[in-house]
Amino acid sequence: MTIKTRFAPSPTGHLHVGNIRTALHNWMFAKKEGGTFLLRLDDTDAERSKEEYVDAIRADLAWLGLAADEEQRQSARFDRYAEHLAKLKADSRVYPAYETAQELDLKRKIQLGRGKPPIYDRAALDLTAEQVSAYEAEGRKPHWRFKLDHGTPITWTDLIRGDQNFDPALLSDPVILREDGSWLYMLPSAIDDIEMGITHVVRGEDHVANTAVQIQMFHALGAQAPEFAHEALLVGTEGKLSKRLGSLGVSSFREKNIEPQAIVALLARIGTSDPVEPVADVEQLIATFDFARFGRAPARFDDEELAQLNQKIVHLLDYEDVKDRLPEAMTAEAWAVIRPNLHDMGDVDQWWQVVTGPISAPEFSAEDRGFLAIARGKMEVLEASSDLWKELTGALKEETGRKGRPLFMPLRLALTGLDHGPDMNILLPLIGRDTALARLTEAS
């Protein structure tokens, strides 16, 4: 069997971190198994679906490195849904219902008030021809419901949650087609999974009841259901579902200079028994991907953990990975020097300015200015070399008797304007002898 997964967002808004995690796990599983990853745009809602969101979804997945092998759109398949609906009508697996939204809401409230589950009572199945005619005379149009088989328990073995068992009598017959002729999610999704050859569906545990319903739809359509993996939902650091996570997307990550590799490394592992590690090579993450390692407890998303992971990822990035994002004159040698001091890529320009200038050195005491004047004199007679810092500090130590912090700190402040940073032994050759001499002259 060739593995095929799908990510099926509705282009009615931007992707958020939960969507991204679902896309990632579908993509990783397909890649590990040598299969196919499908991007299916569930754009049946013509009023809310927008091309700008379609473009944004594609761009977000591309930035994360989650390239789709195929792409499909539900809006191009309405004829297929209509054909299958006609067959289900002929098989008496769907039926028309005429209740208004207000009437259905009142029914639910009455059931809840009586301590009963708010499931549809199937009143539409008992309508007489006269009642139907009366509704139609009022101008009502029916919505269509899928008729669950109450005589057959719904069971499947979930790849994460294990054996699942649902009593269909405790589920509502789902609406599949609105009175205005627009499709709801459930049936088109099942039809697409069949006709597009989807073998595995990876999604959040909030879809478990939907899966129970859809399994009967697969059977009613004469098809075998795919395998399902329902993963625990993301929660925030406060330990509960967070509305903020619903708005946290790629644009937010990019604004904070978070690398796509860091997002992938975090979302690939949280909620599993594998440790979250700074892995920049996604192939290493794919190699360890296993549904058996996914836990049932909510997966905790921590901004601070992401920031720390991001910093470690940046420290692993090769020059070739980032050269298009660096200042034009910045070389691979300079990147190797500056990289260990970066919190994120937003710090690059600051550190490059330390090399190229201008810098703002602090005011020095008279004693330190005298020391720096001696340093300027020593620099004047030194040749540019990779040992420039060693030669300079050696000469100063011998002449002034200074050592440790009193020796190194005034030099660092005069040469970089900062009291911290890369090893001066490797930074000073980047700054250059002539620039260093000019900075020492100004500081003294």
Burial label for 305, CB within 10 Å (0-12, 13-18, 19+), is middle
- pLDDT value, residue 247: 79
Residues 361, 351 within the same domain: no
Residues 362, 438 within the same domain: yes
CA–CA separation, 248 and 266 (whole Å): 14
Residue 202 in any domain: the answer is no
Residues 368, 390 within the same domain: yes
Number of domains present in the structure of the chain: 2
Please say whether the beta carbons of 59 and 13 come within 8 A. Answer: no
Measure Cα distances from 67 to 29, 219, 240, 411 in Å.
13, 32, 32, 50
Please say whether the beta carbons of 20 and 64 come within 8 A. Answer: yes
Residues 350, 374 within the same domain: no
Residue 409 in any domain: the answer is yes
Please say whether the beta carbons of 72 and 38 come within 8 A. Answer: yes
Residues 338, 406 within the same domain: no
Strand 299-300 with 200-204, pairing: unpaired
Residue 388 in any domain: the answer is yes
Residues 393, 362 within the same domain: yes
Helix (H/G/I), strand (E/B), else coil: 155: strand
Residues 347, 368 within the same domain: no
**CATH code for position 390:** 1.10.10.350
21-22-26-28 Cα dihedral, nearest 10 degrees: 10
Please say whether the beta carbons of 41 and 271 come within 8 A. Answer: no
- HSE-up (13 A, CA, CB side) for residue 66: 33
- pLDDT value, residue 242: 66
Of residues 186, 178, 177, 184, the one with CA closest to residue 211: 186
- pLDDT value, residue 42: 96
Please identify, among 330, 355, 380, the residue that sits at the C-terminal boundary of a domain. 355
Please identify, among 339, 355, 371, the residue that sits at the C-terminal boundary of a domain. 355
- pLDDT value, residue 245: 83
Residue 386's domain spans which residues? Answer: 357-443
Residues 365, 437 within the same domain: yes
Residue 230 in any domain: the answer is no
CA–CA separation, 267 and 285 (whole Å): 10
Helix (H/G/I), strand (E/B), else coil: 144: strand
Please provide the DSSP assignment of 28-94 as one string.
HHHHHTT-EEEEEE----TTT--HHHHHHHHHHHHHHT---SEEEEGGG-HHHHHHHHHHHHHTT-E
Please identify, among 297, 327, 355, the residue that sits at the C-terminal boundary of a domain. 355
Please say whether the beta carbons of 158 and 226 come within 8 A. Answer: no
ω into residue 358 within 30 of 0, thus cis?
yes
Residue 425 in any domain: the answer is yes
In tens digits, what is the pLDDT along the chain, a chain of 444 residues?
899 999 999 999 999 999 999 999 999 999 999 999 999 999 999 889 999 999 999 999 999 999 999 999 999 999 999 999 999 999 999 999 999 999 999 999 999 999 999 999 999 999 999 999 999 999 999 999 999 999 999 999 999 999 999 999 999 999 999 999 999 999 999 999 999 999 999 999 999 999 999 999 999 999 999 999 999 999 988 766 666 787 789 999 999 999 999 999 999 999 999 999 999 999 999 999 999 999 999 999 999 999 999 999 999 999 999 999 999 999 999 999 999 999 999 999 999 999 999 999 999 999 999 999 999 999 999 999 989 999 999 999 999 999 999 999 999 999 999 999 999 999 999 999 999 999 999 999
Helix axes 186-195, 208-220, angle to 10 degrees: 60
Residues 435, 398 within the same domain: yes
Residues 377, 412 within the same domain: yes
Residue 385 in any domain: the answer is yes
Residues 390, 327 within the same domain: no
Residue 416 in any domain: the answer is yes
Q: Strand pairing partners for 7?
A: 39
Please say whether the beta carbons of 156 and 164 come within 8 A. Answer: yes
243 in a labelled binding site: yes
> What are φ and ψ of residue 166, in 5° steps?
-125, 140
Residue 364 in any domain: the answer is yes
Q: What is the DSSP code (8-state) at residue 180?
A: T
Residue whose pair of structure tokens reads 């579908």 in the numeric block? 26
Residues 409, 387 within the same domain: yes
